[in-house]
Amino acid sequence: MRTHRASVVAVALLIATALAGCTGSPSGDASTPATSGASESPLPAASESPKPTATPTSKPVAIPEDCRAILSDDVLAQLEDVPLNDPAVGPTGIQPGGSLLCIWRDPRADTTALITTISHMNRGPALGMLNVLADDKGFTCFTPDEGTRCEKTWENEVYPVTDGRTLFWRDGVMIDTSYSNLAPSGYTSSIVASLFE
């Protein structure tokens, strides 16, 4: 009985509080602070409920479709005599999963090549992969251009040339380049500028 009476009192207090919040000024309008401008828009009536607003989200970076368009004129000049996506090197361009594969290579050459894959990759898997390269594979990592870049070079096991790999991740996009005896100056930076600036 006492519990029922307490419940009734609690409900009555809630109703009284709600009604007190709904009372307006003597003119019948909702109470508003005095303003000096006559052209101010009136506030919504007390009976109107606020409408939800969408939280703005950043648009995902699109994977490019053209291997040449993502490079500066300077980088393209350094690759002028190297075939791009020759049919003899296999499937290139846009891949079934949506990534872009660019292969700069003369199929008659034994080792000279530059292979880049640009794909979407979430932050967790991307940074996990880069951490493994830094911790276990001897890659050097740093954070230029608002992203994370890891790179390493080594001597080719068969030919007297330098091989290497450079990876750059930012905003859900991974740029992964492996090369052998073909490392144009500014290559990765040119792609980064094309995608993010």
Whether residue 7 has pLDDT greater than 60? no
**Residues 13, 193: Cα–Cα separation, whole Å:** 63
* pLDDT of 12: 37
Q: What's the pLDDT at 49?
A: 44
Cα dihedral sign, 107-111-113-119: positive
> How do residues 43-68 score in pLDDT, each as one tens digit?
444 444 444 444 444 678 999 999 99
- Identify the burial level of 136 via C-beta atoms within 10 angstroms of its C-beta, where 0-12 means exposed, 13-18 middle and 19 or more buried: exposed
Q: What percent of the chain has pLDDT over 90?
A: 69
Query: Do residues 165 and 177 make contact, with C-beta atoms less than 8 angstroms apart?
Result: yes
